[in-house]
Structure 1
C-alpha cells in the first residue's frame, strides 16, 4: 500500500494485544503518523473507521464481519478487498502417495494449531485408503510434536479460552480417532482427527480455525466430491492428493480462491502467485505485484499540444471523408 503511494490506517484485532504492542512499537519507530496510523480498539473503532472517506478498504476476517464491512463500503462506494477464509477441502484420492500426503496434511493442518486461513478444514478421502491415511497422519503428528504435543515447543495454543470451548463443542459432531485432549487454562487443544462426521453437523457448518480435522469418505470423485464441494460456499483453498492430471481436472470443475495439487498451504507463500478468495471466501487478490495493483489505480491523463489543433474534430467535420478513404 505504501509502495503504491498511499497513506495507511492499520486496525489490528483486539484479541492479539501482545502482537499489537510489538507492531505499534515498530511502526512508531519507522513511520510518522500522517503516513501510517495504528489504531487499536474493538468493534466501535472499526465502525468509526468505516464511516471515514477512505480510498480503499482491505479486510481480513470472518464472512459475517466481511458482510458488515462490504455494506459500509457500499454506502460510500469504496472499493475493497475481502479475505474471509472458509472451509477449505482436502481431497485424498486412492492414487495418492499416502505417506507423503499424510505428512503434508498434518503439517498444514496443525501449523499454528490450525489457526491459519488456508489450513485444510476437512478431508474427503477415498474409502479404500481411509485406514492407512488416518494411521499415517497420527504417525506424522507424533513425529512432529512427540507423544504429547502439549510438551512440544513447535505446537501452538489457541488465541483464547472461548476457542477451546468451541473446539470441545465441535468435537461432539464426530468420533475422535486420536487427540481430543483439551486444557482451557493453557488454551490447549490436541491435534485431533475425527470420523463419522455428518455433512450437516456443526463441525461442517463453520470454519474450524483450530486443530480439528474431520474425515469424510467417498467412492467416486466425480459423482460425490465435485457436487459436495460445489454445493457449498466457494472455499479459500482447495487441495488434492493423487494423480496430477486428475487434480488439475478437479480444479477445472470446482471453484476456489486457490489451492494446490499434492501439497497444502504453500501457494500462499509464493509472491509470484495471486492470493485471494472467491464467493463466500472473499474477493480481490494480493501478494507481490498483485498487492501493488490492489492498492493502486491507473489514471489516464492526456496532454495536448497548445499551438497545433486537430480542426477536423469540430463541426462541420470537414476532411472526414478523406480520412475514411485513408483508413
Structure 2
C-alpha cells in the first residue's frame, strides 16, 4: 500500500484542514467524512488480516520516518527532551505497533468455548469482530502516545477510525493531521481538528465505540453524549496517586525515584505521584534528599536544564502558579511566565497536574502500619486496603510501558483498559457463536414440550457443571 494515498485530516476528503460547527444554515462539517467511513466499514474492507497489517505497517513507517519531526513537535509543545520524547512517546508507540503485528493472527483467531453434556456435538466459540466506526479523543500531555497507542488497537481490531488530537498541543496536532494520513488508507481513517465546540459537535454523531483520555469533568460530557446512542466507552481519566513512604525506606532512594517520576514531562502525567504520606521523622530526612536530587538531576539552575519540560500553555501555567501562594513552599517555588517555567516545587497544598509536589504527614503511627515494617508486609497491606487502576511498590509508573498488563482506571479515574492485547480486545466485540448440527433431531426432543419430570431431571443433570466429567 502506498503511503501517499492517505486519509484526510479535514471534514472533506482532499481538502485543507478546516474547522467548523453547525450554524444557522445547518452545515455539518463531519457528516460527509463519517458517512464515507461507515460505507467503507460496511463494505468489509477493514476485516481481513492483510488490510489490518498494512495499516499497522503504515503507522510504523510514520513513526520511523518522522521521528525528528515528532521530536521537534514535542519540544515545541512541552519542551520535551529527545530522551523523554523517545522513551514515553515514540518508542513506546512503536513497540505497540510491532507487538500487534507479531500477534495479530493469534488475536484474530476464534476462541473455543466449553460445552455441557447436551451440547457436546455443537461447536461454541468467541469471534472477535470490529465495532465499526470508532472515535479516539486524545489529550495534550502525551500527544503522540495517547493518540496513537489506542489507534494501534483500533486498527488491529479492524475498525474505521476518527482521530481527534488535542488542539492544545499544537505542534503535535499539526504533524498528526498533516502527515499521519499519508500513511493510512483514506477510505477508513480520518483526523478531525478543533476545540471544545467542534468536539461537542462531533460527539452528537453516533459512533460504535468512543475512547477518551482526559479529565473526569470532560469524561462525564463524553459519557453523556455516548449514552444518547448507547455507545460503549473507555474513559482514561485523571486520578490521585498517593505515595506512602515507610520509615524503613532509604530516603535518598525514595528521593531519586519520586523526583524522577514527579518531574518527568514537567509533572504533567496522570499517573505521576501526587503527594507523600510519611511520618514527621521521615519528612525531616526526605526533604534534604529531595533537594539534593533535584540539584543533581537539573543543576543549580533547573530552568536552563535541557532535561526539564515546561507547562503546556499559559492557562495551565496561571492555574499552577496560583497554587504556590496557597501554603508553605518547602522546595522551589520560582516561576517565569514568559518561559512557562515553574520550578520543581514541594508545597503543602493539594496537587493539580503540574510540577508542584505537595507533601502530607502521617502523624498517627497506626496509620502507617507497624514500626519498621518489612517492605513486603507494607506493600501487601497497601494492596489489601486500597483500590486503584494500577499499583507500584518501590517504584513509579514504569508499568505503563509493559504490553503484558493493562492500563486503566477504576471509579473516578475511569473505566476500561488498554495496552497490548487489551487494546485489541477493547476495540473488538466478543461475539458468542453456537453452531449446532442440522440433523440429530431426536437428541433435541428432550427439550421440547410437553415437559415431564423425567425430562426436567435429565436436563438438570446434563446442563450441570459436573456433567461433562461423567463421560
The question of a shared fold, defined as TM-score above 0.5 by the shorter chain, is answered with yes
Partner of 2:352: 208
Alpha-carbon separation, structure 1, partners of 2:282 and 2:318: 32
Contact 1:248 1:261 in 2 (8 A): no
Give the drift of 1:306. Answer: 3.8
Give the drift of 1:222. Answer: 4.7
Q: Which deviations, in whole Å up to 9, do the C-alpha atoms of 1:59-89 show, x marking residues without a partner?
A: 1111110111111112221111111112211
Partner of 1:105: 258
* Pair member with larger Rg: 2
Contact 1:87 1:208 in 2 (8 A): no
Alpha-carbon separation, structure 2, partners of 1:221 and 1:296: 48
Alpha-carbon separation, structure 1, partners of 2:457 and 2:376: 59
Give the drift of 1:268. Answer: 1.5
Partner of 1:168: 321
Give the drift of 1:304. Answer: 3.5
Partner of 2:242: 89
Give the drift of 1:221. Answer: 5.9
Task: Give the TM-score normalised by structure 1.
Answer: 0.86
Which ranges of structure 1 fall in alignment gaps of 5 or more residues?
A: 198-202, 226-240
Give the total of aligned pairs: 303
Q: Is residue 170 of structure 2 the alignment partner of residue 12 of structure 1? A: no
Partner of 1:2: 155
Give the drift of 1:191. Answer: 0.6
Give the drift of 1:269. Answer: 1.6
Task: Give the TM-score normalised by structure 2.
Answer: 0.61
Contact 2:278 2:368 in 1 (8 A): no
Give the drift of 1:57. Answer: 0.9
Alpha-carbon separation, structure 1, partners of 2:222 and 2:362: 38
Q: Which deviations, in whole Å up to 9, do the C-alpha atoms of 1:229-282 show, x marking residues without a partner?
A: xxxxxxxxxxxx971321221121011111201111112222212111111111
Q: Which deviations, in whole Å up to 9, do the C-alpha atoms of 1:14-55 show, x marking residues without a partner?
A: 101100111123421211233221111011221122222211
Structure showing the higher helix proportion among its residues: 2
Contact 2:226 2:233 in 1 (8 A): yes
Alpha-carbon separation, structure 2, partners of 1:222 and 1:58: 41
Instruction: Check 1:325–1:105 CA distance in 2 against 1; reply closer, same or farther (3 A cut).
Output: closer
Of stretches 293-302 and 185-194 in structure 1, the one that deviates more from structure 2 is 293-302
Partner of 2:227: 74
Of stretches 212-221 and 101-110 in structure 1, the one that deviates more from structure 2 is 212-221
Contact 1:93 1:242 in 2 (8 A): no
Give the drift of 1:316. Answer: 3.9
Alpha-carbon separation, structure 1, partners of 2:397 and 2:322: 26
Partner of 1:234: none
Q: Tell me which of 377, 387, 392 is aligned to 1:260.
A: 392
